Structure formats: structure tokens, C-alpha cells
Amino acid sequence: MTILVLQPTRPVNPPALRARADALLAGMLAANPQYTFEIHQDTDEMDISLLHPSRYARHAAIRNHMLDAYLTDKHTHVLWIDSDLVDYPADLPTMLLAAEGDIVAPLALLDPSPARLSRFISPMRFYDIGGFIERGHRANLHPPFFVQQGPVIELDCVGCCYIAPAALYRAGVRYRPAHTDYYVEHWSVMQAAQRRGYRIVALTDIAAVHAWLPDYGMEVS
């Protein structure tokens, strides 16, 4: 089994965030020796921002660029990992592949930075609500994140970090900006996956933690 790991990055990511992303990938390689990994980290140095003024269109363009550049017949799965994640289980691929689903994601939670915590703000906050869609609606920012309860949640869409069958992309499925900002660029791929009978799930007992960007001197977009 050969997993293509794709990590789109931003030129503005500071060295500390890049170092953390590299350390997590190194830990993942060591913890999952039963798989062959091919890892690519691309930035949008193609000046995608000028070609696509919409943020989600830029995201779609860099993802499609990576698929076109690196996906081959040898790959069985594609694992997307956002570059501003600061924690996830080292054996994440094994956990995702063991789940009863075709496209599988952990929860995407926001790092509980002391800078943003107060008695008014819960440390348990979802990050990518635009990517996680349940029955047409975004996930909730705070628990309970979904209407369904249980360790496996059936969703219309996931984002931020997930594994998908490589066959889906080899069939020509690609990312497109949604017609509304309510949905992000993952939506087009997930719709195509559902039409092909793929099951999309999130695992509520696994979390990928997204950086609180001000901790790294970056603005929250």
C-alpha cells in the first residue's frame, strides 16, 4: 500500500510552523512502517493568488496542481494534511484506514492557546466548519459538533485532514470553488465521491489540532 501524502503550504508560514509540520510527518513515517509513503509539500509559488482572487479557488488550484504533478498508478490512497496543523496521532494513517469508510477524517480542533482562552471561550472549538458538512449544514463551533452522536459520523463533506482512495482522483475528480463561501473547495470532490458510492465519515475520537495562528505571528483569516 502506497500512500501519497500531500501538504499544501503557504509562503507566509513561519519557520516554527514549518518545523512542526515536518516533525509531525517524520513521526508519522516512523509510526507506520507497514505503509510506503510519498510526501510532497508544495507552496503556491506559481502565483496562484493572482490567478485566482478567491481564497477557496486558490486552495482548489494548489490541490489540483499537486494531484496533477504527483499522483500515479502506484498510489492506493491520498492523505491530505494541512500545513498549519500542530498535532495529530503519529499512527493517523493506520487509524483512518481501519475505519469503516472510504474518505475518513479526524476532527479538526483549534489549539487551545492561552491567548484566546477566557471564561467565555471554550477550549474545545472546532476549526474547519466550512469543510465538515452534515446533512447540508456546517459543523458546530462548540460541542456537540454534530447532530449525530457516536465514534463514526456520516458526513457530506470533510476537510483539513483526510484520507481518500487514489482511484477517485485518477478518475478525474478535481477540486473546484463552491458557488458559495458556505462550502469550501472540498465540497466538489466530496459530491463526486458520493455520486460514486464512497462513504464519507469523521472519527470523533481522533483529533487533528490546528494552530492558533496569532501564536505564530499570523493573522486569523
Q: Residue 221: its pLDDT value, please? A: 59
Least confident of 61-65, 122-126, 164-168: 122-126
pLDDT of 120 strictly over 70:
no
Residue 28: inside a domain, yes or no? yes
Counting the structural domains of the chain, the total is 1
d(C-alpha 115, C-alpha 134), whole Å: 30
Among candidate residues 97, 104, 65, 100, the one with its CA nearest the CA of residue 190? 104
Q: Look at residue 132 and tell me if it is in a domain.
A: yes
Secondary structure E strands in 135-199: 137-138, 152-154, 161-165
Where in the sequence is the domain holding 70, given as residue range(s)?
A: 2-214
- Does residue 219 lie within any of the structural domains? no
Quick check: is 221 in a domain? no
**Per the domain annotation, does 34 fall within a domain?**
yes
Considering the domain boundaries, does residue 62 fall inside one?
yes
Residue 189 counted as domain residue = yes
CA 140 – CA 129 distance, rounded (Å): 7
| CATH code of 41's domain | 3.90.550.10
Tell me which of 61 and 102 has the higher pLDDT: 102
The 8-class DSSP code of residue 162 comes to: E
pLDDT level of residue 53 (50, 70, 90 thresholds) = low
Q: DSSP state, 156?
A: S
Q: What number is the average pLDDT over the span 118-131?
A: 76
- pLDDT score recorded for residue 173: 98
Average pLDDT, the chain: 90
Q: What is the dihedral of CA 130, 200, 66, 15, to 10 degrees?
A: 50
Task: Please check whether residue 220 lies inside any domain of the structure.
Answer: no
pLDDT band, very low/low/confident/very high, at 55 (cuts 50, 70, 90): confident
| pLDDT range class, residue 48, cuts 50, 70, 90 | very low
- The residue that leads in pLDDT, 162 or 55, is 162
